[in-house]
């Protein structure tokens, strides 16, 4: 029986999917070429771990496509001193990519059926995604690993002053990459690019009133 060559598949992911699509930061590319993405998906889906589309994890949840994760982290501009919260961490792939790039990672997931893969530098916690994890904050960087309709104030308030937040944002049925920064008591998001991202549950936009 021939076993998949995951190392070769990982190199092909970096060379054919990421480098041609504006992912150029050397440290990030090195980590993406080393983290075994196949370990973060169900065994039956491992042969699809490196293709350019989301991978089903079960229970209606998906692992973002490699490019979506890479662009999210690239635009977040992680630094070696950052304390990071990953929201919607699922099995922990994005957290594992971030761990070598930053000081510490807290990975938050609410679905108990998604078993995280133990990773040095990552602390896994369980709770409602939309509440964030204030006990570990404040954070220099928050990464929401998926697309949401809105970022709750409870989450953005867990940033330090000047802290950044990276997320996918659902706008009129289209997902876009968005970057936000906290300034004093204010927080704003700016969309930077169209990007396919899996939609996370529990982040519906608050209702608006019309007259």
pLDDT tens track for 4-63: 899 999 999 999 999 999 999 999 999 999 999 999 999 999 999 999 999 999 999 999
Smallest CA-to-CA distance from 146 within 34, 37, 65, 42 is with 65
The domain limits of the chain are 6-194
pLDDT confidence bin for 173, thresholds 50/70/90? confident
The pTM for the full model equals 0.94
State the chain's mean pLDDT as an integer: 94
pLDDT confidence bin for 2, thresholds 50/70/90? low
Residue 34 CA to residue 107 CA, distance in Å, equals 20
Q: What dotted CATH number matches 6-194?
A: 3.40.50.150
Strand stretches in the chain, DSSP E: 55-58, 61-63, 83-87, 104-109, 122-126, 139-148, 159-171, 174-183, 186-194
pLDDT confidence bin for 194, thresholds 50/70/90? confident
Classify residue 175 by burial, with Cβ atoms within 10 Å: 0-12, 13-18, 19+.
buried
């Amino acid at each position: 029986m021939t076993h998949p060559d995951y190392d070769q598949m990982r190199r092909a992911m970096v060379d054919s999917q990421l480098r041609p699509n504006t992912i150029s930061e050397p440290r990030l590319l090195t980590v993406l070429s080393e983290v075994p993405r196949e370990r973060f998906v169900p065994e039956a889906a491992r042969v699809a771990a490196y293709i350019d589309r989301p991978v089903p994890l079960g229970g209606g949840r998906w692992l973002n496509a490699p490019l979506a994760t890479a662009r999210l982290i690239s635009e977040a501009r992680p630094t070696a001193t950052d304390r990071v919260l990953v929201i919607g961490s699922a099995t922990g792939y994005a957290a594992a990519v971030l761990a070598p790039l930053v000081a510490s990672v807290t990975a938050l997931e609410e679905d108990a059926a998604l078993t995280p893969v133990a990773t040095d530098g990552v602390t896994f916690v369980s709770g409602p995604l939309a509440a964030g994890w204030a006990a570990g904050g404040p954070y220099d960087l928050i990464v929401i690993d998926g697309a949401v309709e809105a970022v709750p104030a409870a989450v953005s308030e867990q940033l330090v002053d000047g802290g950044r937040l990276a997320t996918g944002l659902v706008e009129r049925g289209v997902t876009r990459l968005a970057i936000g920064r906290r300034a004093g008591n204010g927080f704003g998001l700016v969309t930077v690019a169209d990007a396919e991202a899996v939609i996370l549950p529990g982040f519906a936009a608050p209702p608006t009133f019309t007259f």
